[in-house]
Chain A
Amino acid sequence: MPGPVEDAGQPTAERIFCLLRRGELTIEDTWHVAGMRGTGTKDVRADELFVPAHRTVSFKAFNSTSPPGAALHRAPLYRFARGPASLGGNILWPMLGAAEGALADYVAATRVRVGALFGDKPAEQSPVQLRLSESAAEIKAARLLLEAENRIVAGRIRDGSAFTDDENVELPRDRAFAAKLCVQAVERLVLQMGATTIYDPSPVRRHFRDLNAMATQIGVNWDLTMPPYARRALGLPVAAALGGH
């Protein structure tokens, strides 16, 4: 669990992670949400626990190139220089997969769908075909953006070099844009599907709710990730962004 540290009841600037045994905590089932229900992302409550120092680590040490674990593990993954460019990418792959899954489910469903009232076939209507194409192209663009980003991140991790200032604004921009592409691509499909799909087992709609839930993550927040890129491009100082920079 991450959190700020108080000293004698006064807040300090220090933030730490604590490692706790599940038995020490109370699980509170607050996870009644619009999407990503299966993750079971419930609250945990700690009631005045004493945590020994060896089960804590400061954010500063954790994010450095020599966190405590680097003494035990040789892999570069445990010592690379973190930065805005490296944060938040992990949620994009489930988002992309959900979008690709939604697209496949949509195609399968729409291929055989017959209009409930008039017996028409939506697949034969050009506006429906155009929706599918636009969403498919957006999801592909998102994939190419994430693959390009992954190559950069993997390279930095491998050789231990720091992310450049350009990468620290461009990669977050691309992630937010990829998230936006995924969400709008699936939304375009869902809006075409009609009332018969509003019942719970509809996989496309479940994917859409999952995407909306994942897109609320701060790492893909559009309004926060666009200005740092633009400010740097326009020669303005980049305000302290995410990830302690």
Chain B
Amino acid sequence: MKRLIFLATLLLAGFAQADIRPYVAGSLKKIEGEHRGRPFILTFWSASCAHCPTELKALGELLRQHPKLNLVIVATDTPAEGPELQRLAQSYGLAAQAQWVFADAQPERLRYEIDRRWYGELPRTYFYDRQHRRDSRSGAIPVEQLERWAGEHVK
């Protein structure tokens, strides 16, 4: 019984604090693969981007309204900052979301793979529909737009 409780605690801890994974070349394919056949939101942010807290806060709120929302957040900082990034994400209610952090000396290489027309501005968000056609947006996204997307795609 004790062991069960211990395991359950571990499991809960796992949910409460998702892993932060190193985002490298090929990571986008992995993320897309993990969401095959499901709509999801992919957001790039950074701890040193002034408009990102607005975005993360809105996403946290969206998640509260739509617990089934699939959301992946990728920090364009460095793995050295991983623990702090996790704490930041947690403060916006995003602790349980899939989290990644850029792990490449050349962020241009990662951006090239993600989207050749992304010039590095943050936050940057991709809305994937069920077929994984995606819409891209730069800058903090108005809450109503997030709500509309969730209303249409989160069942």
The yes or no verdict on A and B being binding partners is: no
- Which residues of B come within 8 Å of A, CB atoms? none
- Which residues of A come within 8 Å of B, CB atoms? none
